[in-house]
Amino acid sequence: MKNILRVLIFSLTSITFAQQQIDSIQFNGVKKNSESFLRSLILSQPDTVSDTLLLNQDVKKLKRLAGISHATYAIQGNKVIFTIEENHTLIPAVNIWSVDDIFSYKIGVYDYNLFGRNITFGGFYQYNGEPSFGVNLFAPYLFSNRLGLAINVQKWSSKEPFYYTEDATNYIYNNLGAEAFLTYEYNFKNNFRLGLNIGKDEYTYDSGVLNASVEQDITINKAIIKFLYEYNNLDFNYQYVSGLKNAFTLQQHFTDNKIQPSYLAGWNDIMYFKRVGVKGNWASRLRAGLSTNSSSVFAPFAVDNNVNIRGVGNLIDRGTGSLVLNTEYRHTLYDKGGWFALQGNVFVDAGTWRHPGGELDDFVDFGRGQLYSGLGFRLIHKKIFNAIFRLDYGYSFENNSGGIVFGIGQYF
């Protein structure tokens, strides 16, 4: 009994001395980032008790900021020292591709850490036979260390296929819209956004199926109320990610055209990341979505190379429900110190959709499903925010078809 008491007294004494008061907090390596801004975000503060759980949480939060590639902490007496490795965040964007023998390009520039306060601001110009442009502002801590604002203005043009029959009717699509969000960080793991989008869609017949049921010129004025909730418990260590993230989106669309009636759409993404050994990373995303089940060809959930199924093609189908699983294993093939890494990956993308006006058992209709697998690689610059050049090749053995998908950033 005396031995048990000695152990308890020793443990309590150790805990008491381990939780020392913080007299000061120091940041090393801070150049572009605003130190006062960083101090406002962390939970550990002077004149509070040192808590390793809070310090570890502070480090995870700092590593999520666009302006920081890595962060650590050390305790020296009553002082806490955060050591920061900063990202380069003023990033030009240049993409070049060819569609239907049209030389297409996209140019832009974004600063992801404007004024050193984690503000994203920038814009782009795109030409793919039609001009598009946009300006974006995202300031999640504009009003306080929890409350922020996002504003997006965009004029977007593209060729969009719709399926009145099994064959596509192609339109030239033009959208002009603006949206604003209030963002709120409830705590370290939970974030909310509430916003309003006002815009106009115009569709002009271009090619493909044309019959009495096909509208040639369509104008839709719309307003969209958007709600987003995000649970984020991810931990970053350069190119490696571990943890769980969940993102839920709910949108109410109001329109003035019966061709695309007003509808409600919601979808949820669950993303899970796990370190595998020293150089491996397993990543998975499960997306499930449903919308008002109208028979309109303007259904909200698309089957597309750049969104959900690598190799399937550009906008090959639409539906009023979606169930998609993306899973891949990423392996670092080469790592050059603290600035560059080459990563290879093996992936499987599988999905199924509910036909507009269809039934829930469409999800188990294997004739509507898509299954693609493939290989890819990533060129990663560790000191430039989101500087990940991605190339994947996906192939379907069932359809004997495949395709290459380029992009910036990880696929998910």
| Count of structural domains, the chain | 2
The sheet with strand 24-28 has its strands ordered as 24-28, 79-86, 68-76
Q: Could you give the C-alpha distances from 123 to 92, 95, 135, in angstroms and in order?
A: 10, 14, 4
Residue with the two structure tokens 């001009």: 131
The amino acid present at 123, given as its one-letter code, is: G
- According to DSSP, the β-strands at 79-86 and 24-28 are parallel
d(CA 329, CA 326): 11
Same-domain pairing of 123 and 79: no
Segment 78-88 shows an average pLDDT of 96
Q: How wide is the angle at C-alpha 124 spanned by C-alphas 184 and 311, nearest 5°?
A: 90
Q: Which two tokens stand for residue 268?
A: 């949820």
CATH number of the CATH domain containing 326: 2.40.160.50
CB 89 within 8 A of CB 385: yes
Same-domain pairing of 40 and 105: no
Greatest Cα pair distance in the chain = 93
Segment 195-221 shows an average pLDDT of 92
For residue 136, the surrounding DSSP H or E stretch is strand 131-139
Q: What pLDDT was estimated at residue 8?
A: 52
What pTM was estimated for this model as a whole?
Answer: 0.86
Same-domain pairing of 122 and 137: yes
CATH number of the CATH domain containing 80: 3.10.20.310
Same-domain pairing of 73 and 130: no
pLDDT in tens, 277-318: 999 999 999 999 999 999 888 889 988 888 899 999 877 788
Chain mean position to CA 256: 31
Same-domain pairing of 161 and 259: yes
Q: What DSSP designation does 146 have?
A: S
Same-domain pairing of 22 and 94: no
CB 216 within 8 A of CB 197: no
Range of the domain at 261: 90-408
Q: Say whether pLDDT at 261 is over 60.
A: yes
Instruction: Give the end of a domain, one of 86, 101, 128.
Output: 86
Q: Facing residues of 92 across strands?
A: 109
Same-domain pairing of 14 and 122: no
Same-domain pairing of 69 and 109: no
pLDDT in tens, 173-188: 999 999 999 999 999 9
Q: Which two tokens stand for residue 246?
A: 């969940």
